[in-house]
Amino acid sequence: MENDINNKFADRNTFRKAEHLCLKRDLDALFAEGKSFVCFPFRITYTFCEKDGAPAKVVVIAQKKRFKRAYQRVELRRLMRESYRVNKHPLVSELINKNMGMHIAFVYVDQKIEPFAFFDKKMKLAINKLNAIVAEKETL
């Protein structure tokens, strides 16, 4: 059973509901206790947690303070989700190998909307940095 769940998240280019970080309690804990770093145009906040379902649970945030129009925030969230969905495999497989869970928030901090190629390149850098953090972390 555990193996089926791991294969579901590691092998395919999907971003299922189980991979979304939705609970207010988890979000509050992430921003209260999490560590963060900036990989421009993202500020990434993360915490390690017990693995419940998906190895990595993610939330993407486009701030209303920076983008007043809703259609701009929606476009940014779509671009961030898509670039995460395509590039998540190294991080997810590392978390599965170490049997760890992680909550991650990607906050967009730039002032303008960039094309998808830019998001894709920067998301790869951010995920590689997260992957390095997971690799040096001891198993829970």
| pLDDT above 60 (res 2) | no
Question: How many structural domains are present in the chain?
Answer: 1
- 59: domain CATH number is 3.30.230.10
Beta strands in 2-92 (DSSP E): 35-39, 42-49, 56-62
| pLDDT above 80 (res 119) | yes
Nearest to 53 by CA among 83, 85, 23, 18: 18
pLDDT tens by residue, 62-108: 999 999 999 999 999 999 999 999 999 999 999 999 889 999 999 99
| Whole-angstrom distance, CA of residue 125 vs CA of residue 119 | 10
Neighbours of 59 (CB within 10 A): 20
Domain housing 113: 2-136
92 in Cβ contact with 55 (< 8 Å)? yes
pTM exceeds 0.75 for this model? yes
Counting residues of the chain whose pLDDT is more than 70, the rounded percentage is: 90
